[in-house]
Structure 1
Amino acid sequence: MNDTTAIPMRKIIHVDMDAFYASVEQRDNPELRGKPLAVGGSAARGVVAAASYEARKFGVHSAMPSITAKRKCPDLIFVPPRFDVYKAVSQQIREIFAEYTPLIEPLSLDEAYLDVTENLMGMEIATEIALQIRAKIKQATGLNASAGISYNKFLAKMASDLNKPNGQAVITPKNGPAFVAGLPVKKFHGVGPATAERMHRLGIKTGSDLKAKPLEFLSQHFGKSGPYFHSIARGIDERKVRPDRIRKSVGAEDTFTDDITDLDLAIAELGPLADKVWRYCDAQGISGKTVTVKIKYSDFTQATRSRTSTLAITGVPEIIETASVLLATVYPFRRSVRLLGVTLSSLTNDQSGDCEEQRQLDLNL
């Protein structure tokens, strides 16, 4: 019996703009077209928020320290982000989505899930809807979008990466389980570098390996994520597209190549994390009052420390200052540190009132 027959079939599209921030900059400044471009940071400090495809050929990618990016690509051009412009373009794109379905779940300014099982156009074929949406986005904004089409969110997300840039791909119910079986777990959406490494140590390198592990085993080793991994290994993802998701926090974390034992080195790593958290908050017009630091040690045990202020956080320096104080409370570290995370919660909209809350993003650097 096919594993997918027990759940309702949906028609899900995942739309992902191609190198969104960088593409907007190249659209608006012809002198930048065809050149390696990084949005955010500078040649000396900060992190890359987005990289053009010309820069990606050199190994430059988002969340990379700017100094590393410049070393990989000496001709890299840095431009400051213009989040007000990106937000305006994002709104144009969402208006196009709304012509087809009210079931839109934005993940960020440049990507979203759409449930088009029953759509406003009365169209039967989701691939045709995706083609129309991508063509309208190109016409309205001058930008390219890629899309993935499948019967659930996980596979739609995976499909949108298959023919990037400016392409789309379909994973059908018939092909879904086989696609997952041959996929390296490190490429699974929702499996970060640390989890992939842990899976590898357990002999799990592909979707097929993951499927071979019983639910009890996965729950034992991966806790509440165990049932999710058990399902997606079979091409099953029952999550609905949720147009009114509530974000509870915004977080970023980084797993280090070499474990850290020194407090000053650990504090230095907080900067890029705080920067990424605040970039998202700034783009969305939100802030928060609670800063949390997550510390994962070499033996995979972890600790968290939080502090809540009476007023909303105002920027990166304040996040770094609070996170540094919190980190110092667990020093000397009981073991070497393999991962640090920074989260901002108790969110408010424009620093006054409640914001739209959504489930915390996994922002691995």
Structure 2
Amino acid sequence: MKIAIPVETDEAEPRVAATPDTVKRLIGLGADIVIQQGAGLTSGIRDNEYAEAGAKLASAATDAVADADIVLKVRRPTAEELATYKKGALVIAIMDPYGNDAALKAMAEAGVTAFAMELMPRITRAQVMDVLSSQANLAGYRAVIDGAAEYGRALPMMMTAAGTVPAAKVFVMGAGVAGLQAIATARRLGAVVTATDVRPAAKEQVESLGAKFVAVQDEEFKQAETAGGYAKEMSKEYQAKQAELVASHIAKQDIVVTTALIPGRPAPKLVSKEMVESMKQGSVVVDLAVERGGNCELAKPGEVVVHNGVKIVGHNNVPGRLAATASSLYAKNLFAFVETLVDKNSKSVAVKWDDELVKATCLTKDGAVVHPSFAPKHAAE
């Protein structure tokens, strides 16, 4: 059983799919590990560290993936990469399947069995494989650090002989994994923190971290959560009431962090141009949803926009801004999943196709797109 870890071809992706620790653990499953030279450099991992852990090094990606039974990646493989994989290889990565039908079709036509880590079900046994949570946690932390760096003042209250510096006001929109970590980080840095979310369960979580909860708490709000724990899209009437409340609150804030995402849908617009214009000179908006269209109307992917004296931060791949930590967590997520795909006695790939984890994450198999959320589109072609 050969497992390959190639260099990520996207220059904007500094993360890597394996660490020396997970290499040792994968070898313990009976695998031969081949890593392309330089794969871990942007995450602070040298080739010799992989070699010392027991991995073999390959100078080129084609050598690394040749005849590999499993290919571990961070990003979905390109068509050029797919051409070098053997048919039937398991390819496990963050696949970004929504709206990328052509890419899914290409993986199917290449004959690989593709698994999307971000589709992992949120059940107890899969918590250790939850890449959305492991990466969002880091994104929430980094969002506050980035916001503080762009904000021209201190966050905590400081009492000095020259006078008292008031604490900064930080408002977090969306109290999922990223939002809760943003709240905790801002609190640790001494800010006065408020937060909002459409899910009723978020109120207690926000308050447990020492922040104040801000939301229109009507009957619709009480029903605003899916069985899977995700936020539902709210009615236009509720959105209008919530927007009015938020607009009056945002005008008083120093840093706003937006984290709201709906799986498979564009990010909801929460911060309008008018709201930004109501904020004080020198305030900051950090939009963690910018790659999905943004929660802030003025956010632009990969840019820090300045509008009316307010900075709107739209960094791409925020977990990648903490590449070493993000890679460490992601590699552990991958190992935990790979472990379920291997027979410990024969030390070979043995996918249990009726396993709920496999059913939830498998995108392509035997030349076809098989995931129920995406297969119907291709069946009609």
TM bin, normalised by shorter chain, reads: under 0.3
Q: TM-score, normalised by structure 1?
A: 0.26
Q: TM-score, normalised by structure 2?
A: 0.25
Choose between structure 1 and 2 for higher RCO, CA contacts under 8 A separated by at least 6 residues.
2
